[in-house]
Amino acid sequence: MDGAQFADLGGLDREALTALVIAHRAELAALEAELESHRQTLCEQTQELRSSGEQIEHLKLIIEKLRRRLFGVKSEKIVVQLEQLELHLEELESSQAEMEAAVERVTPAEEPKARSRRKPLPEHLPREVVTHLPHGDCCPDCGGQLRQFGHDVTEQLEYIPESFKVIRHVRPKFACSGCDRVVEAPAPSRPIERGLAGPGLLAHVLVSKFADHLPLYRQSEIYARQGVEIERSTLAGWVGGASELLSPLVDAIQKHVLAGSKLHADDTPMPVLAPGNGKTKTGRLWTYVRDDRAAGEDTAPAVWFAYSEDRKGEHPRQHLKDFKGGLQADAYAGFHHLYGDGAIYEVACWAHARRKFHEIHAIHASPTTTEALERIRDLYAIEDQIRGKPADLRLTIRQTRARPLLDDLRKWMEKSLRSLSTKSETAGAIRYALSRWCALTRYTEDGRLEIDNSAAERALRAVAMRCSLCPSF
């Protein structure tokens, strides 16, 4: 209080002073109660934040486990469960960030919270420099002249919304003064005859649909928000026209892939919108991979995808009618008829054989599953050392190091099988491997072959079909 306030208090009688003190005490008590309420709220938010963080870590662990199983176990339930967990994780992380911001506003942290080191922004992105100068050109404390001795730089990632533009092609007409002939430049070609879409827009529509799995009706809605009305039927016509335009490129990729002496093959279910009734059916996407880099070759790797409405064996038979060589694939029965005439020979996948032991081991570990996994691990350790080496060197090392391990593994499996119940899951895993032993060990007879079919499984990971509903063309 200043002197004037004390003078004012001096003019009050005892009762007025007492009432004033009581009023101040009541006001102080109310402020303390409000402060305690804020403290309680802060405590609850902190506890909720801690609990949310634990849930996030738990969900991340579950998601990582499911991701490892997703492409080994073809279960739609796992796909749905993974999607739900990812959505839940997004909500928790968003809520956590909101609560952290609220807590920092109430009680700013004395030290900044330790965060994981973020990756630098990509160098290829264009940089827009914004320079922030102090207010005034003199010192705010003493008024002295300022001189620059350095600068601080921080970067912020920004997004410029996609935009349309109209390219107007103007062709001036000229008339000959001698013969009255009209001269005009030829009209520029269009990707689709008489189509309005330029090549950049067509590429964007195709990537949005097939790579980002954005249906055409959603794309139409997005474009409408930007003031450009494009009907879904028009977009569908563009997709069909572009597919026809790109068919020579697809044929060239197919020819290149099937020209190799070794091929990786796999397939996966694809939900497809059935024309007319709006319901979904399950089609199949087949993938064929040529990738010889692990054998030291520099031939360009490539993937050819083919679609079919079902999983009948006639489809791979048609796809591979001109192929000759080793087919690295799983034990799908539809591939078996390809091995009859000897033009195509089977190369089985050790990853599938190992997966059967791993699934049992994860639920109920036993000395048998443990030893099986360790023995298979030793085979993969050899492959790690010779990846990228020439085929002849790979063959020599496999014959001298992997072949003896495989012979011992077979003897051990046959011995273990006699001591297991015929109905046990472990016995089933051993029978799976022994029944395909010739195909499983064929990779040791040719340095160009691989120990498993991981190349095809990696190609299918990029498809991300769990969120895609594609038309049937």
User: Which pLDDT does position 465 carry in this prediction?
Assistant: 46
User: Which pLDDT does position 78 carry in this prediction?
Assistant: 58
Is pLDDT at 187 greater than 90 in this prediction? no
Give the pLDDT mean for 452-471. 69
User: Which pLDDT does position 275 carry in this prediction?
Assistant: 62
- Better-predicted residue by pLDDT, 416 or 365: 416
Rounded CA-CA distance 381/451 in Å is 11
- Better-predicted residue by pLDDT, 468 or 454: 454
**267-298: string of b/e by CB count within 10 Å (b at 16+)?**
bbebebeeeeeeeeeebbbbbbbbbbebbbee
Identify whether the C-beta of residue 442 lies closer than 8 Å to the C-beta of residue 403: no
Per-residue pLDDT tens over the stretch 221-256? 999 998 899 998 889 889 998 988 999 999 999 999
Give the pLDDT mean for 130-158. 85
Is pLDDT at 14 greater than 80 in this prediction? no
Which candidate, 345, 340, 285, places its Cα nearest to that of 316?
285
Residues 6+ apart with CB under 8 A from 185: 171, 172
Which candidate, 253, 347, 340, 265, places its Cα nearest to that of 301?
253
Cα 36–Cα 42–Cα 44 angle in degrees, nearest 5: 105
Which candidate, 466, 467, 469, places its Cα nearest to that of 272?
469
Helix (H) or strand (E) holding 306: strand 302-308
Per-residue pLDDT tens over the stretch 44-84? 777 777 777 767 766 776 766 666 565 544 444 555 566 66
Rounded CA-CA distance 232/272 in Å is 17
* Tokens 């309680």 found at: 40
User: Which pLDDT does position 472 carry in this prediction?
Assistant: 37
User: Which pLDDT does position 23 carry in this prediction?
Assistant: 82
- Better-predicted residue by pLDDT, 120 or 328: 328
* Tokens 């990729």 found at: 253
3-class secondary structure, 68:
helix
Percent of the chain residues topping a pLDDT of 90: 38
Domains of the chain: which residue ranges? 199-247, 259-347+453-473, 350-452
H-type alpha helices, 157-231 = 199-206, 216-225
Per-residue pLDDT tens over the stretch 190-208? 888 888 899 999 999 999 9
Identify whether the C-beta of residue 287 lies closer than 8 Å to the C-beta of residue 266: yes
| pTM for this model (two decimals) | 0.67
> Given pLDDT bands bounded at 50, 70 and 90, which one contains residue 469?
very low
* Tokens 């991701």 found at: 67
Rounded CA-CA distance 289/159 in Å is 36
